Amino acid sequence: MTKLELFYAPIACSLVPYIALKEAGAQFEIHPINLGKKEQMSEDYLKINPKHRVPVLVIDGEPLTENVAILLWIDSNFPDANLLPKQAMLRAQAVSFLAWCASSIHPALTPNALPQRYCNLPNTADNVKECAQKLLIEYFSIAENMLREKYWFFDSFSCADIYFFWCFRRAKQFNIDLNAFKKCTKHYESNLTRTCTQDLIAYERKILDAFNS
């Protein structure tokens, strides 16, 4: 049996493969990483991922980084979980959606937590956040149109829904006013009803408590 190990940090985007692995029914070990303590910069961690990021999925000792790649690996290895559409065009559109989360939405979230990473001039943090939030509002408007009257982004629940759930949740955590996005909010709430998402939230609480104790 393939050995799977997920390097995971609470709140962070490693939530996405956590939920995907649970949805797939995979057995995996979790290595919690405390980003607050900069554990991702340790010598041991940099050997696993020199980019000092979570998530990493280690597959039989081989590290795989980047959410999009990890999600594709999970889908290919757990095809019965239907985590991505099977039909070629729909599948490509779903991968396109994942790439959009990774390359546009996520980079507009990070400046809200780490404005100094983007501009180190004095008194610029609020402006960096304002610019990032403007982008987020544009992206969520696009997502709102994509959802139309539908529950999920594609024909049935998929990795796209997990990734977008994390993006929207992270924006909410920054207290950005998202009330205008009714369909995205419904999508967020639909994710919260899923057993695997509830499992993640309980696990995240447990790890945060352990980190804070």
Ligand X SMILES: N[C@@H](CCC(=O)N[C@@H](CS)C(=O)NCC(=O)O)C(=O)O
Contact footprint for ligand X (CB under 6 A):
12-13, 35, 40, 52-55, 66-67, 102
User: Which lies closer to ligand X via its Cβ, residue 46 or residue 180?
Assistant: 46
How far is Cα 74 from Cα 193, in angstroms, rounded to an integer? 22
Considering the complex, what minimum distance in angstroms separates the CB of residue 103 from ligand X?
8
Considering the complex, what minimum distance in angstroms separates the CB of residue 148 from ligand X?
27
Considering the complex, what minimum distance in angstroms separates the CB of residue 90 from ligand X?
22
User: Which lies closer to ligand X via its Cβ, residue 33 or residue 178?
Assistant: 33
User: Which lies closer to ligand X via its Cβ, residue 105 or residue 184?
Assistant: 105
User: Which lies closer to ligand X via its Cβ, residue 37 or residue 206?
Assistant: 37
Considering the complex, what minimum distance in angstroms separates the CB of residue 1 from ligand X?
25
